[in-house]
Amino acid sequence: MKKLQILHFLKPDVRKLVLFSVLAFICVGGVIQTYAFLDDVPGIPKPPLYDVLRPLELWFPWIILTFPTHFLGRLLNVWWLLRYFPEISPGFKFPLASVVYAYILSCWTFHVWDEWLSGNPYRKLLIIAGIILAAIFNPPVTLLWASFSLDYLLIVISGFLFLSLIFTVYAISIYGLYKVARSFTNK
């Protein structure tokens, strides 16, 4: 019974599913945008939706979002499992591990928010930290000196918004890990 209570935070609700949908979109879109690095390799066809997703910045936010899964996969040497993942199109695997990670991360984020941050004044600092980190990694001020084009505008703004979300989710999640670790040391 105790083990089930530990996993209770994984129970879906609307907020978790909305956040998960955005993070899963970043994961799938990031894999599709990987084609930009492989478009000159013969025999690899363009994945579906590549042209539709081209004006959005998804690849770099996907790399930032899935860094922990890539790091853990490399550390545990489980990359051989990728051959069992379904393909989006020839040469592009569905990011199953990334999508599962996105769901767990979404659930954990709202668990932390409800458990420790709902009335806490630190919640604003965590959101601001996420926005500041996004501005460092994808500064929207680059729009000021670039020649104006709608494509560039969409890339910069979408990259900033996706990174703001990811860094805010990470800030909240890390705060939750801190609170859990602290509860173990206080016992």
Tens of pLDDT along the chain (187 residues)?
455 567 889 999 999 999 999 999 999 999 889 888 877 777 788 888 989 999 999 999 999 999 998 888 888 888 778 777 777 777 677 888 899 999 999 999 999 999 999 989 889 999 999 999 999 998 877 766 667 778 888 888 999 999 999 999 999 999 999 999 998 888 6
Cβ contact 171:126 at 8 Å: yes
pTM: 0.89
Does residue 172 sit within a domain? yes
Does residue 170 sit within a domain? yes
Q: Domain range for residue 147?
A: 14-185
Q: How many structural domains comprise the chain?
A: 1
For residue 89, the one-letter residue type is S
Residue with tokens 């979002």: 65
User: Residue 74 and residue 133: Cα distance in Å, rounded?
Assistant: 25
Q: CB within 8 A of 65, min separation 6: which ones?
A: 23, 26, 27, 30, 98, 102, 166
